[in-house]
Amino acid sequence: MLQNFKMAFRDLGRNRRRSFFSALALSVGLAILILMASVINGEIGGAFDSAIRLQTGHIQVRAASYDANKSSLKWQDLVQKPDQIAAQIAALPQVKAATPRLFASGFLSTVNESSGVQVYGIDPTSVANDPYRTGIISGSYLTADDSEGLLIGQPVALKLHLKAGDTVGLSVNTANGTVEEQTFTVRGIYTTGTYAFDNSTILLPLAKAQTITQTQNHASTIFVLLKDASYTDSVANALKGPGLTVLTWKQMNSLIVDFESLAQSYISIFYLIVLAIAASVIINTLIMSVYERTREIGILSAVGMRGSRIMMLFLTESFLLAVGGVLMGVLLGWLFTFLFNIHGFYIGKMGLTGMMVADTIFARVKLSDFINLSILTFIISILAGLYPAIMASRLQPVEALRAEK
């Protein structure tokens, strides 16, 4: 076996440039796959993080009859005494924060322009709402007793040409089916780095949102953040009760879950295409080596070397190319990912509809991707060397010796 490695290493060294570029082609293919897998992980993971942080939480507790698509404000569709329920949930050791939220549809208008918005009534003091507090880029944050102020997202501010301190009209639906209109002051402008959320969401203190929608002491949902996502199922089971629906983050983000499955299916096909191209380089290199060494193979056969050992010799060359390509590919993959994450990839408004994809995508490296892709690349490289190895092992000694140099 050691002799095979010595001979294979020597044979690859005969044309070092060709051997190097063959291994390099394999490594670049692997590096591209690692980068792609990391970007997909970053996009999907970022969408989950943004949705949980901004919109769904890990768990939501709602009235059994509540329809999120309609943002119903009828009292029978809302959670009664939400502050008490939120306090009870927050007392659980696995829970980081639990806070009531009220959702309503409305229109934000200035003298010349208007825009449809989703109104979020929030408790400004809850740590669950820190993304909005830390995202203030102009003006100030809300206080719980503010009855005349609201926060708007940066895209809304740009669209309606608003700045902190300006007054706007807000029209919202109410519990009895009418429309209530009131003038508010823009306390601040925020950004969460997620265009899909910032472009349509305005924030009011919960008490004011309940007053203007006539839903006093009611909320659309109890928004729950956990200390760790692994607690989701156990906490969700503990919160189930009569008249309430408990939804987990996976249930509320089914679109992202489906997209992740679809993306993994398509990306697997792309993996095979890239690796097939890289493998073709290995095949070409070894076939050229077989033709160049035909007489040598004939001599080896004539002195008694069996075809199986000749085949093993070429498979050893394929093994060495695969090892070199995989090692370089892992290093290049890490380098590509590092360079990608210096600035990320800005998509802004190009995010997928219905998904809380961040404005800038960053790659997320998973050790499992490095291992799985490296193993896959290695196996395909070895298989690529199988045909040239069989071709060399089947050369007849007499015909091989007659071959021209």
Burial class (CB in 10 A: 0-12, 13-18, 19+), 229: middle
Quickly list H helices, 140-231: 154-160, 195-198, 206-213
Tokens encoding 279? 């493998």
pLDDT on residue 184: 95
Domain final position from 242, 265, 284? 242
354 domain-assigned:
yes
Shared domain for 96 and 72, answered yes or no, is: yes
Shared domain for 367 and 393, answered yes or no, is: yes
Domain final position from 216, 242, 268? 242
Shared domain for 279 and 373, answered yes or no, is: yes
Given a cut of 90, whether residue 398 has pLDDT beyond it is: no
Given a cut of 90, whether residue 333 has pLDDT beyond it is: yes
pLDDT on residue 293: 67
170 domain-assigned:
yes
Quickly list H helices, 214-365: 232-239, 249-252, 254-292, 294-302, 307-343
Given a cut of 60, whether residue 57 has pLDDT beyond it is: yes
Note the pLDDT tens digit of each residue in 247-261: 999 888 888 877 777
Shared domain for 267 and 357, answered yes or no, is: yes
Shared domain for 38 and 80, answered yes or no, is: no
- Domain extent, residue 178, equals 65-242
Shared domain for 186 and 42, answered yes or no, is: no
248 domain-assigned:
no
Domain final position from 208, 242, 276? 242
Beta pairing partners, 188 = 139, 151
Domains of the chain: total: 2
59 domain-assigned:
no
251 domain-assigned:
no
Backbone phi, psi, residue 293, to 5°? -115, 25
Shared domain for 42 and 177, answered yes or no, is: no
Spatial distance between the Cα atoms of 161 and 152, rounded to a whole number of angstroms: 12
Shared domain for 130 and 188, answered yes or no, is: yes
Shared domain for 162 and 290, answered yes or no, is: no
Shared domain for 91 and 234, answered yes or no, is: yes
Shared domain for 227 and 272, answered yes or no, is: no
Taking alpha carbons only, the member of 354, 102, 81 closest to residue 203 is 102
Band (190; pLDDT cuts 50, 70, 90)? very high
Burial class (CB in 10 A: 0-12, 13-18, 19+), 33: buried
Given a cut of 80, whether residue 71 has pLDDT beyond it is: no
What is the mean pLDDT of the segment spanning 64-79? Answer: 85
pLDDT on residue 9: 65
Which range has the worst mean pLDDT, 75-89, 176-190, 246-260? 246-260
Mean pLDDT for all residues in the chain: 86
217 domain-assigned:
yes
What is the mean pLDDT of the segment spanning 197-212? Answer: 93
Q: Which residues contact 88 (CB under 8 A, 6 or more apart)?
A: none
Spatial distance between the Cα atoms of 254 and 257, rounded to a whole number of angstroms: 5
Backbone phi, psi, residue 142, to 5°? -80, 160
249 domain-assigned:
no
Given a cut of 90, whether residue 96 has pLDDT beyond it is: yes
Q: Alpha carbon 228 to chain centroid distance?
A: 18
Shared domain for 191 and 270, answered yes or no, is: no
pLDDT on residue 354: 57
Q: Alpha carbon 213 to chain centroid distance?
A: 36
57 domain-assigned:
no
Rg over CA atoms, the chain = 31
For helices 16-51 and 2-14, angle between their N-to-C axes, nearest 10 degrees: 100
Note the pLDDT tens digit of each residue in 278-309: 788 888 887 877 776 666 666 767 666 777 77
Band (330; pLDDT cuts 50, 70, 90)? very high
